[in-house]
Amino acid sequence: MKYLLLAFVVISFVHCASNPNQLTEEGKKVQVMSGKKPMEGCEVVDKVTGENDINSIQVATNKARNMAAKKGANYILVEDELLNGSHAKVIATAYSCSE
């Protein structure tokens, strides 16, 4: 019984720590630029897309920020936000900018 309880606690912790809808520690460092063009001193890293089926632009943005962080970017510039039924999608360009 002790092992069953321990397994449940570990699985619960891992599930909460790896919620794909939340920002990772690295994703929290990726800032969202406002405007139609990047700031001075920025280089394109890649295009990133965040999607979900819970109709949340915020969750889609979180996913885009997490993906940008994995690619070494520290900023994203959102190019499009799409809602289609319960599907939300954010398309952004990831940048590495000198601070």
Token pair, residue 15, equals: 């599930």
Q: Are 22 and 60 in contact (CB under 8 A)?
A: no
Could you report the per-residue pLDDT of 9-32, keeping only the tens digit for each?
Answer: 445 444 445 688 999 999 999 999
**Domain housing 47:** 22-97
- Given pLDDT bands bounded at 50, 70 and 90, which one contains residue 93? very high
Residue 72 lies inside a defined structural domain of this protein: yes
Residues 46 and 30: beta-carbon distance below 8 Å: no
Residues 6+ apart with CB under 8 A from 12: none
Closest CA to 71 of 36, 43, 51, 98: 43
According to DSSP, the residues that pair with 19 across neighbouring strands are none
Q: What is the pTM of this model?
A: 0.80
pLDDT tens digits along 51-76 = 999 999 999 999 999 999 999 999 99
Judge whether 80 lies within some domain: yes
Say how many domains are in the chain: 1
Alpha-carbon gap, residue 9 to 17, rounded angstroms: 12
Encoding tokens for residue 14?
């891992």
